[in-house]
Chains A and B, each alone.
Chain A
Amino acid sequence: MYLNTLPRGETAIIDRVEPQGVSDPIMKRLVELGFVSGEPVQVIAIGPMGGNPIAVRIGSTRFALRREEAARVHLRGAS
């Protein structure tokens, strides 16, 4: 399961962040922002139009990101 499909209000543990393409600056930035293995992440809000972008919380830090970006974050405990 990836972060883009995690329902609102749910918390999951990040497994890894996967690159899209050979050199993926967005994946690098996600990692720098703390999207790393073992961190719990919670979806706190979804956008008003079509549920995109989403807002997530890691620790006490909140981020808004589009589902395309969230699709790089693989979550633990699911296929």
Chain B
Amino acid sequence: MDASVTTLYAALVGNPNCGKTALFNQLTGSRQKVANYAGVTVERKEGRLVTPGGHPVRLLDLPGAYSLQATSPDEDVTRAVCLGEHSSEPRPQLLICVADATNLRLHLRFVLEIRQLGVPMILVLNMMDEAERRGMTIDIKGLAHELGVPVIPAISVRTGGAARVLEALDAPLPAPPPPLPEGADAHVEVRRILAAFVSSEDLREATLADRLDHWFLHPVIGPLILLIVLFVMFQTVFSWAQPIMDSLESGVAHLGVLVGSLLPDSMLRSLLVDGVIAGAGTVIVYLPQILILFLWILALEESGYLPRAAFLLDRIMAAAGLSGRSFIPLLSSFACAIPGIMAARTIQNPRDRLVTILVAPLMTCSARLPVYTLLIGAFIPQRTVLGVLGLQGLVLFGLYAVAILSGLIVARVMTRGTASAEHPLLLELPAYRVPSLRNLAMGLWQRATIFLSRVGTIIVTLNVLLWALSSFPAPPAGTTGAAIDWSLAGRIGHWMQPVFAPIGFNWQICVSLIPGLAAREVAVSALATVYALGATGDDAAGQLTPLLSAQWSLATALSLLAWYVYAPQCLSTLAVIRRETNSWKFVAGTATYLFALAYGAAFVTYHVARLLGGG
């Protein structure tokens, strides 16, 4: 066969934090496809490239691994593909093993393990600039001769830093490397090779990492810095995103009006305007917030700070039966549970990952805020407590605190008894790096497209379904009152009422809960619809406030607040749980436990409030 026309199938393999993904981005540019490996939610990245000599290459970016003795689903994929045992992936013709030149003591052991496989391979020594900066010299030729594989220096964070890797792909496939003699100890080999070909770096001088770690991991200063980082992060997620979200919101509203004016008054118009456009709108409006959040997480991840945060918070998470690794997904869930649940992929322990996904909906997402604001504004007096604290702010803080505490307790209960096998923290604290704009942009782009294409389609579908429930059957001609009252959703609301009477909900609340399933904040405009205000959005809240405080008891309002702390009032979240766990069982379980908690909390709140005179 003519080698110039057949596509080479190669895979990048290496330790976590070896700069593998940056190299992958350099080599393939935007020609990447991101999906999952069959049956597991391990991210599969494949890209295409053409070498300078015109050879097409399909390149797979395998998940980072410390060893072929896999301890996580990620490592298991890498093991199976490298060994040619994966059910749906062919064995690569060439393994491109990537190692951090400044961390060879750790990375070379895995290189030797890969070398034992007897597959053609090349070794890419990444981050050569940093190695030189530290005064290390590496005998590349000697190392290549010793290992029996081509060794190529690279600087994956610099444009053109992967040029020599591309050239190497033009060369004919190297012969499979010779295996180590039987019974050789890899660690002894690593030490021997390092002594022979690598001048050891000067460790006497405190490195940047030492100095930064002194403060970032400090028992007192460290948590303070973390608090500041989190505070700034949340500030930007909420304040930077707000103007963009506002303009998107009005843009979506304008589009709805425009489409509405172009079409005659018909079911089709209602479907397009109230179902599709409004549904897609709820997704798109949250996109700026989600993107800013993702940008933060990517930047903190790339900079090497995230594992430090996990180190600082491990004890709190351990009290809930989890580990520091669960911190980021739960943190993200405060903006929106959807990216939070997606971020749980970074947790290696399957039990921790599952529990994190299941408690993520308890973290107070930003969609609850419009509901909280409406109810607090209508029912909690603007009083100051202890001279300085606003009562309304205190109630809001209390709602957040109760949610966090509940999340920790639920996690504790879920992990109880299952912790028979010790699950370790054992987390590498990688070198600090300035995040590269290119990697941030590509990461952001990939996450945004995943969010829009997969999650978005589910959300729009559900919105159309809820639109149908709220629109059919239409009220008979000449009737007054809310149209939703005649619809299936309205009828379901009335049927639900006896069930919700013990927690103080009237039928209007029950009806608004149904469209509120699409997205929590929709409940506000749904309430406006039920009370036949004919207003939508921000407007609705303004008109609703006096109406609600006149019609509802304080006990009912507090009960609804308690309900919203827990209730899985978001079908999109449940859809993502289905996608990430591959199981309807966990979706049903999550919905059941959250509804049970919501009902219980609302019941207690309602009756305690009535006893105290709030009825």
Report the Cα distance A47→B324, complex, angstroms: 12
The one of B105, B222, B310 in contact with A48, judged by C-beta atoms closer than 8 angstroms, is B222
B109 contacts A44, C-beta separation under 8 Å: no
Contact present for B426 and A30 (CB under 8 Å): yes
Known interface pairs A26-B424, A29-B424, A48-B220; A62-B429 also in contact (CB < 8 Å): yes
Q: In this assembly, does A1 line the interface, its C-beta being within 8 Å of a C-beta of chain B?
A: no
Cβ-Cβ contact count across A and B, 8 Å cutoff: 113
For window 47-79 of chain B, which residues contact chain A by CB distance below 8 Å?
66-67, 69, 71
Query: Do A32 and B69 have beta carbons less than 8 Å apart?
Result: yes
| Contact of A60 with B207 in the complex, beta carbons under 8 Å | yes
- Please, how many angstroms separate the alpha-carbon atoms of A46 and B220 in the complex? 11
Q: In whole angstroms, how far apart are the Cα atoms of A34 and B108 in the complex?
A: 10
Residues of B within 8 A of A66 (CB): 314, 318, 424-426
Chain A residues near B210 (CB-CB < 8 A): 44
Contact between B67 and A29, CB atoms less than 8 A apart: yes
Q: Is the CB of A36 within 8 A of B66?
A: no
Contact partner of A49 (CB less than 8 A), chosen from B109, B214, B316, is B316
Q: Does B217 contact A (CB under 8 A)?
A: yes
Residues of B within 8 Å of A29, CB to CB, are 66-67, 69, 71, 424, 426
A47–B315 touching, CB < 8 Å: yes
Q: Is the CB of B428 within 8 A of A32?
A: no
A50 within 8 A of B: yes
Chain B residues with Cβ below 8 Å from A28 are 69
Query: What is the distance, in angstroms, from B205's C-beta to the closest C-beta of chain A?
Result: 12
Q: Do the beta carbons of A64 and B69 come within 8 Å of each other?
A: no
A61 interfacial contact with B, CB 8 Å? yes
Contacts of A65 in B (CB 8 A): 424-427
Query: Please, how many residues of chain B have a CB less than 8 angstroms from a CB on the other chain?
Result: 42
A69 and B207 form a contact (CB under 8 A): no
Q: How many Å from the CB of A6 to the closest CB on chain B?
A: 16
Q: Mostly helix, strand, loop or mixed at chain A's interface?
A: mixed
Contact pattern, A 41-66, Cβ under 8 Å of B = 1, otherwise 0: 00011111111110100111111111
Q: Are A32 and B201 in contact, CB atoms less than 8 angstroms apart?
A: no
Instruction: Report the separation of the CA atoms of residues A29 and B426 in the bound assembly, to the nearest whole angstrom.
Output: 9
Cβ of A25 within 8 Å of any chain B Cβ, yes or no, is yes
User: Cβ of B106 and Cβ of A33 under 8 Å apart?
Assistant: yes
A64 with B105, Cβ < 8 A, contacts A28-B69, A29-B67, A49-B316 known: no
| Chain B residues in 8 Å Cβ range of A25 | 71
Find chain A residues with CB under 8 A from B69 CB: 28-29, 32
User: A18 contacts the other chain (Cβ, under 8 Å)?
Assistant: no
A61 to B106, CA, bound (A): 7
Whether the pair A32, B424 counts as a contact (CB closer than 8 A) is no
User: 6 more A-B contacts (CB under 8 A) besides A44-B213, A53-B324?
Assistant: A29-B66, A44-B217, A48-B312, A53-B311, A53-B314, A61-B105
- In the assembled complex, 6 residue pairs joining A and B whose CB atoms fall closer than 8 Å, in A order, are A20-B422, A29-B69, A36-B187, A48-B222, A51-B219, A62-B429
